[in-house]
Amino acid sequence: MLRKSKHEEARRWCLRIVGELQIDTLGFRALRQRYDGMSSSVLRRFLVELGEAGLVHQTGESPYALTTPGREAFGALRPLVSQADVLPVAGQ
């Protein structure tokens, strides 16, 4: 079996985060609870990167949510996400 690179793992985690946020808005604590194997600093870094990419938005203490481009990107990637079995996709 081939070992996944850190870059591939990061993409997988980001897809999972975007998928979770497609289903519902979530605060940092709720996201952290869903990803036990991920440190808080790594989760925060992924959320910052997704925010810088314009896919995720969060203001102050409000929960994280997908932006319109984030929803569109998830819609385009949905077949890949479900095939990769990285998360339960809403509506399936």
CA–CA dist 76, 83 (Å, integer): 13
* Torsions phi, psi for 72 (to 5 deg): -65, -40
Half-sphere exposure at residue 47, Cβ-oriented, CA atoms within 13 angstroms: 22
Query: For the chain, which residues make up each domain, given as ranges?
Result: 6-84
Domain 6-84, what fold? Arc Repressor Mutant, subunit A (1.10.10)
The model's pTM:
0.77
Identify whether the C-beta of residue 42 lies closer than 8 Å to the C-beta of residue 28.
Answer: no
pLDDT by position in tens, the chain (length 92): 445 567 777 777 888 888 889 888 999 999 998 877 788 998 999 999 999 999 999 988 889 999 999 999 888 887 766 655 555 444 44
Written as one string, the DSSP assignment of 9-26 is: HHHHHHHHHHHHHHH--B
At position 61, the amino acid (one-letter code) is E
